[in-house]
Chain A
Amino acid sequence: MENKRKYVIPGDLVTTGPFRPEQNVILEGKNIISTSIGISEIYDDSVRVIPLTGKYIPKIDDLVIGKVISHSSLSWELDINSCYVGFLPAQDVFGRDFSAHADELSSKLKTGDLVAARIANFDRTRDPLITISDRDLGKIDSGALIKISPSKVPRLIGKRGSMIQMIEQGTDAAITIGQNGWVVVSCESPEGLLKAKKAIQMVNEKAHVANLTDQVKDMLESKGE
């Protein structure tokens, strides 16, 4: 079966026949029906719809960028741009010998701090458990936060990271993309920062355009002169 792409809205018939329904599709009798606005794809024996809108739903092992909203004596709560709040236990930051009496949580992370984190565990019954004990994770000290639609994150990364690599090389910026649609850009030169911001906004607005890579490339080069 060829990789047939189609624009669909909820209720639209994607295909009929013996296919495996994956993301954003349901099986109704023999028909595979889309449940989201998006682009349908048929790969080998599976069908899925890539959504163009919607909130971020946590997935285990996703890299996300969170903002500390509050803390108790044992854990922090992070806004991860989702319908659930991220739960960061104090042991994760202070280590095994954490003591609620001796350690003050606000000495490490304060309300409003940005954190690069990974979803450690998530299921239907609990709020997502997140961790920052890994390389490249932890508090973000500098950079500009850009919020884009979570459904457009794959487009910003591009095929095997092509889009993001192009933006990074074109502007000398370091870009951290959270799967939840929050992106942190840090760059030495203010021009590079502005250009990277503009490129990211451009991807956000024109995610469905076919030759977007060329358009972004033109934009990056034109300003560079």
Chain B
Amino acid sequence: MGGREATMVLLDENGIRCDGRKIDETRKIMIKAGVLKNADGSAYIEFGDNKILVGIFGPRDVHPKHMSDTDTGILRVRYHMEPFSVTERKNPAPSRREIEISKVIKEALEPAVMLEKFPRTAVDVFIEVLQADGGTRCAALSAASVALADAGIPMRDMVAACASGKVADTIVLDVNNEEDQAGQADMPIGYMPNLKKITLLQLDGILTSDEFKKCVDVGINGCKIVYELQKKALTDKYFGNGSN
């Protein structure tokens, strides 16, 4: 935050944002399930200019063995950004930020995944960000959830994620990179649409309590839009030429 380009108009008088969207509009989202042959489950998401690939292995043997849990399976998530995913080369070694995002995505998926059915095993989630443009953690979480379903890991519900935020004193849906840099607040939300439960909620910025409530509501609406696309991705892959 802090405003890199003070001249940029984030929101004009007609309620149109810097990339031409309305305040309650998401970027263009495309999700595809089962794109990798060698992984047990996979998904690819394009969320605006974000391009993210997720591969799942498991349930499988835990190595190192001391990490395994005799009561339940464990979930391991690696979020990784490619060196070419941002404008200036990123060091491929895991950064502080990537370790944090791996942790929050893991914790956002855990309430949905029923790992207690597979004691002494691990499910590995590998998230590769090919191109980043703000809101990668939400896009990555949405794709990871599709990939887990594709791998056939039992889940209570899908996890859909979308960010909302405050830009030019207005609550908007799906904050992009420019708005994230110059805006006032950014709130990623992970949501289980059928169970109506929030699994991820972060907030970077300052909101009043009214704004906070509105921001959560707007974010949840975004998650519902993402959920429909997740559903479509899985239906297309598994029931493509059948009818319901």
Kindly identify, within residues 22 to 37 of chain A, every residue whose CB is under 8 Å from any CB belonging to chain B: 24, 26, 28, 33, 35-37
- Output the nearest chain A residue to B116 by Cβ-Cβ distance: A124
Closest A-chain residue to B192, C-beta based? A11
Mark out the residues of chain A between 80 and 134 whose CB falls within 8 Å of any chain B CB in the assembled complex: 83-85, 124-125
- One of A24, A33, A209, A210 near B157 (C-beta < 8 A): A33
Q: Is the CB of A10 within 8 A of B238?
A: no
Task: Note all chain A residues with C-beta closer than 8 A to B156.
Answer: 10-11, 26, 28, 33, 35
CA of A73 to CA of B119 in the docked complex: distance in angstroms? 27
The prevalent SS among residues of A at the interface is: loop
Q: Interface SS of chain B: helix, strand, loop or mixed?
A: loop
Q: Does B171 contact A (CB under 8 A)?
A: no
Chain A CB within 8 A of B60 CB: yes
Q: A9 to B157, alpha carbons, bound, how many Å? A: 9
B238 contacts A83, C-beta separation under 8 Å: no
Closest chain B CB from A81 CB (angstroms) = 11
Q: 8 Å CB contacts to A: which residues of B38-81?
A: 40-41, 58-61, 70
Kindly state whether residue A151 has any CB partner on chain B within 8 Å.
yes
Residue of B119, B152, B157, B192 near A54 (CB, 8 A) is B152
B175 near A: Cβ within 8 Å?
Answer: no
CA distance A154 to B193 in the complex (A): 32
* Complex Cα–Cα for A167 and B70 (A): 42
B238–A13 CB distance below 8 A: no
- In the complex, what's the smallest C-beta–C-beta distance from A154 to chain B, in angstroms? 15
Closest to A35 in B: B154
On whether A7 and B235 interact (CB within 8 A), knowing A83-B118, A210-B242, the answer reads yes
Give, as a whole number of angstroms, the nearest-CB distance from A82 to chain B: 9
Contact of B194 with A52 in the complex, beta carbons under 8 Å? no
Question: Is B155 an interface residue when CB atoms closer than 8 A count as contact?
Answer: yes
Q: Would B194 and A13 count as touching, CB distance under 8 A?
A: yes
Shortest CB-to-CB span from A105 to chain B, Å, is: 22
| A84 vs B231: C-alpha distance when bound (angstroms) | 31
A55 to B154, CA, bound (A): 11
Do A9 and B152 contact each other (CB < 8 Å), given the known contacts A28-B195, A53-B41? no
Question: Which residues in B have their C-beta under 8 angstroms from that of A9?
Answer: 149, 158, 231, 234-235, 238
Q: Which residues of A contact B120 (CB under 8 A)?
A: 84
In the complex, are the beta carbons of A7 and B119 less than 8 A apart? no
Q: Residues of B within 8 Å of A, CB-based: how many? A: 36
Q: Which of B157-178 contact A (CB under 8 A)?
A: 157-158
Instruction: List the B side residues contacting A55 at CB < 8 Å.
Output: 40, 58-59, 152
Nearest B residue to A151 by beta-carbon distance?
A: B152
Given contacts A11-B192, A33-B157, contact A83 B60 (CB under 8 A): yes
For B192, the chain A residues whose CB sits under 8 A away are: 11
B242 surroundings in chain A (CB, below 8 A): 7, 208-210
Does A41 interact with chain B (Cβ within 8 Å)?
Answer: no
Asked whether A37 lies within 8 Å of B119 as measured between CB atoms, the reply is no
Residues of B within 8 A of A51 (CB): 152
CB within 8 Å of A: which B85-131 residues: 112, 114, 117-121
Interface assignment of B189: CB less than 8 Å from any CB of chain A: no
* Contact residue among B58, B118, B150, B244 (Cβ-Cβ distance under 8 Å from A7): B244
Q: Which residues of A contact B (CB under 8 A)?
A: 6-7, 9-13, 24, 26, 28, 33, 35-37, 51-55, 57, 83-85, 124-125, 151, 208-210
Q: Can you show 28 pairs from A to B with CB atoms below 8 A apart?
A: A9-B158, A10-B149, A10-B155, A10-B157, A11-B155, A11-B193, A13-B194, A26-B156, A33-B156, A33-B157, A35-B154, A36-B155, A37-B150, A37-B234, A51-B152, A53-B150, A53-B151, A53-B152, A57-B117, A57-B118, A83-B58, A83-B60, A84-B121, A124-B119, A151-B152, A209-B241, A209-B242, A210-B242
Nearest 3 CB-CB pairs, A to B? A54-B152, A11-B157, A53-B152
